[in-house]
Structure 1
Amino acid sequence: MRPRLLLALAAALVLVPAALLLAFRMPEFGAHPLPYGDAATALMLHERHVTNMVSGVNFDLRAIDTLGEEIMLLAAVGGAVMLLRGARGEGGQRRAAAIPGRPIPRRSEAVVLLCRLLAPVTLLFGLYVVLHAQLTPGGGFQGGVIIASAMLLVWLGEGYAAWRRMLPGPLLHALEGGGAALYALAGLAGLALGDAFLANVLPPGESGSLLSGGLIPLLNLGVALAVAGGFAMLFLEFLEETRAPEEGEE
């Protein structure tokens, strides 16, 4: 432990002064030296009628980069699933593990009640964040994570068997892959109509309206499906690690 402590102290002597210097030299809030922010704001208000500039940048000005990020997420989740299943085996069952000498405690009624109340509320809030991405802070990634958290509350409150009945693996695979495919197909629509990839092919709507933004709500939905399905798939694989092994499995 002593060498590690000395190394941490040495790193702090270098990093802490640099962090303080950076903090004191940061521009004031709202002041930025580059014109990119002003140009993006004016362009998104005029071209897409969105009021959340972050969504405008993510799903319009750098929409191809966002598609790349979704493919990276898809690849990361797929790699994690392959590694876990490669060591555990493809088989699965719908009962929790029973390790000798370590009984599974019974869920209290308070935990069950709280999860049953919070799961639907969390799901609705996640849908709200997804649907209002072009209007207020939020978006498909943030909303997708919230929706996946609501799915996890089902396991916490109802148990492993209920989780597997309500959220089977094929459904989560379809959400993850389908969300990424929806994003890519929306981009191909522009090419099919003789325009650029991911070019807006839908009317921009009225600024401040739920249907504003043109193609942005559709792309945002694809991200939400991919993120919710991907995170829930990881939850499922991690929970599978705790189950009792099938006959013949290690």
Structure 2
Amino acid sequence: MSPRARGILATLAALALAPGALAVLRAMPAFGDHPLPYGDAVNRIAPAERIVSNMVTAVNFDLRGFDTLGEEVMLLAAVVGTVVVLRGSRGEGVGDRPATCGDRPIPPRSEAVVLLCRIIAPLTLLYGLYVVLHAQLTPGGGFQGGAIIGSGLLLVWVGEGYNAWRRLVPGVVLHALEGGGAGLYALMGFGAMLTGAAFLTNVLPLGEWGSILSGGVIPVVNFGVGLAVSGAFGMLFLEFLEETREPKDGEEP
């Protein structure tokens, strides 16, 4: 199909969908309106039952805690599938050096990039840990903080190169983080069920309002999610970076 034909087709489709889009916009509530009762119910129940001030965290790890475990399993399955595909040609062995991939160019790293990454990488990792640990108090949590920590790991590779990155971030540790974090979540949830209680029933002190130790089991399962997401992103980066070409003799890594 020619570019002109695609443009005409896109225009016709937009014109056909425009009345429906306008009808949806007109039917939407005004900005700031809150027509549904669920938010009010969460704001009323969660602070009293879980002593948390972040209602999103209360929903994720209490009101719909079993669904969150399903999300965790989906992430685990997606990472496992990606690892299987990427390791299909080179096998299970993962060395501490990148693979040999023909004449793929290796872009040189400037001293400014190296310095910037050495400054930003530890700050990014620290901020990611902060986001994970304060999920019950402020916006954030294990998913968001884990993604930030994964980005910090990638900055280590950008600044230090592949070999140094692999020495600092062993693959076996990433596997343990991913599986252990998901296992911690499942253990806290199903462990409560073994006693006859509901999934993720609180078994720890709720703490005081505004304290980092408040929330009962919520900080524990949220920390498990942070470990799992950090390990998952790290495993993805490890497998992708395994495709990096190994420097030849006399070539700058």
How does the TM-score come out when normalised to structure 1? 0.90
Aligned to 1:70: 72
Q: Matched residues in 1 for 2:104 and 2:154: separation?
A: 23
Aligned to 1:196: 198
Q: Considering only aligned residues, what root-mean-square deviation do their CA atoms show, in Å?
A: 2.1
Q: Structure 1 59/29 Cα, relative in aligned 2: closer, same or farther at 3 Å?
A: farther
Offset, 1:95: 3.1
What's the CA shift string for 1:113-132, capped at 9, x where partnerless? 00000001001110111111
Offset, 1:153: 0.2
Q: Matched residues in 2 for 1:171 and 1:209: separation?
A: 30
Offset, 1:231: 1.1
Which blocks of at least 5 consecutive residues in structure 2 are unaligned? 247-253
Offset, 1:29: 3.9
Contact 2:104–2:245 under 8 Å retained in 1: no
What's the CA shift string for 1:158-186, capped at 9, x where partnerless? 00001111112111111111110000001
Q: Matched residues in 1 for 2:244 and 2:206: separation?
A: 48
Aligned to 1:216: 218
Q: Matched residues in 2 for 1:29 and 1:75: separation?
A: 39
Offset, 1:24: 4.5
The answer to whether 1:83 aligns with 2:82 is no
Aligned to 2:250: none
What's the CA shift string for 1:35-59, capped at 9, x where partnerless? 1111111100110011100000010
Q: Matched residues in 2 for 1:172 and 1:129: separation?
A: 19
How does the TM-score come out when normalised to structure 2? 0.89
Q: Structure 1 221/35 Cα, relative in aligned 2: closer, same or farther at 3 Å?
A: same
Q: Matched residues in 1 for 2:81 and 2:184: separation?
A: 21
Aligned residue among 45, 58, 81 for 2:47: 45
Aligned to 2:122: 120
Q: Higher mean Cα deviation, 228-237 or 24-33?
A: 24-33
Offset, 1:16: 5.0
Contact 1:98–1:104 under 8 Å retained in 2: no
What's the CA shift string for 1:217-238, capped at 9, x where partnerless? 1111111111111011111111
Aligned residue among 145, 152, 167 for 1:165: 167
Letter matched to residue 202 of structure 2: N
Letter matched to residue 45 of structure 1: P
Offset, 1:4: 3.2
Q: Structure 1 47/114 Cα, relative in aligned 2: closer, same or farther at 3 Å?
A: same
Which blocks of at least 5 consecutive residues in structure 1 are unaligned? 245-250
Q: Matched residues in 2 for 1:20 and 1:153: separation?
A: 44
Letter matched to residue 61 of structure 1: L
Q: Structure 1 186/35 Cα, relative in aligned 2: closer, same or farther at 3 Å?
A: same
Q: Structure 1 160/64 Cα, relative in aligned 2: closer, same or farther at 3 Å?
A: same
The answer to whether 1:184 aligns with 2:203 is no
Percent identical residues: 67
Q: Matched residues in 1 for 2:229 and 2:53: separation?
A: 23
Contact 2:69–2:186 under 8 Å retained in 1: yes
Aligned to 1:230: 232
